[in-house]
Amino acid sequence: MTPSALEAQRLLRDSSQFQWYVIPLLALVVYVYAVEIERRNWDLVLAGLAFWGMDWFNETWNALVLHFTQHAPVWAAPGKTAYLILIGLNIEICFMFAIAGVIFTKLLPAAKDLKILGLPNRLFFAFTGSAFCVFVEYLLNSAGALTWDYAWWNRGAPWLIFLLGYLPFFLVAFRVYDMNNLKHKIGVVSAIYVFDFVCLALFAGLLNWI
């Protein structure tokens, strides 16, 4: 097992790492959603939740990669943290993704059919948002806070980070946001979270694989 994976495993769900700054971070997440709920902006709330739910899916399969290879996850978060939830997901990352979908969706133009540089604007913002997130990951990797141990997922090969690591988050969130039927939006988001919950309950709770 790689040194970064071993260090992340040492920190995994160790409550002694707790720091009080987690509480204001939680308050920030609650505030962001409370503002949109107050405005009855359900489209944005559900888009944000869809984005967050997609991240939980990614973090689950990433942790399973470590279980089955016993070498390394695709990415690990062995740096300082107040709590490491999964091998590549700490509480700070978790809270960031909880509001990231709301933030990025707020950037979308009201006109769905508007094109930017010849691309549908939803696709344009999905591409640029994913590229921005990859850039942030480069910075985190440079600082040693986020580690990569596979040749096909690193600084020299960012394509899968872009295509699998982030693009689906944006595409799903924007699709949920643009759906015309509120029940359909709720159904899609509910399906994402039910799947996430089942996977976490099975692989983390029952089998203790992640």
Which pair of tokens denotes residue 29? 């997440």
**Over the stretch 33-57, which tens digit does the pLDDT of each residue have?**
999 999 999 999 999 999 999 999 9
Residue 160 has a pLDDT of: 96
**Over the stretch 67-81, which tens digit does the pLDDT of each residue have?**
999 999 999 999 999
User: What average pLDDT does this structure show over 112-139?
Assistant: 97
Q: What is the dihedral of CA 19, 57, 135, 29, to 10 degrees?
A: -40
Residue 98 has a pLDDT of: 98
User: What average pLDDT does this structure show over 11-23?
Assistant: 97
Inter-residue contact 104 to 59 (CB < 8 Å): no
**Over the stretch 170-208, which tens digit does the pLDDT of each residue have?**
999 999 999 999 999 999 999 999 999 999 999 999 999
Inter-residue contact 107 to 125 (CB < 8 Å): yes
Predicted TM-score (pTM) above 0.85: yes
Q: How confident is the model at residue 145 (pLDDT cuts 50, 70, 90)?
A: very high
204: number of CA atoms within 13 Å, CB side? 18
Smallest Cα–Cα separation from 166: which of 89, 20, 54?
54
Q: What are phi and psi of 154, to 5 degrees?
A: -160, -170
Burial 63-80 (b: 16+ CB within 10 A, else e): bbbbeeeeebbbbbbbbe
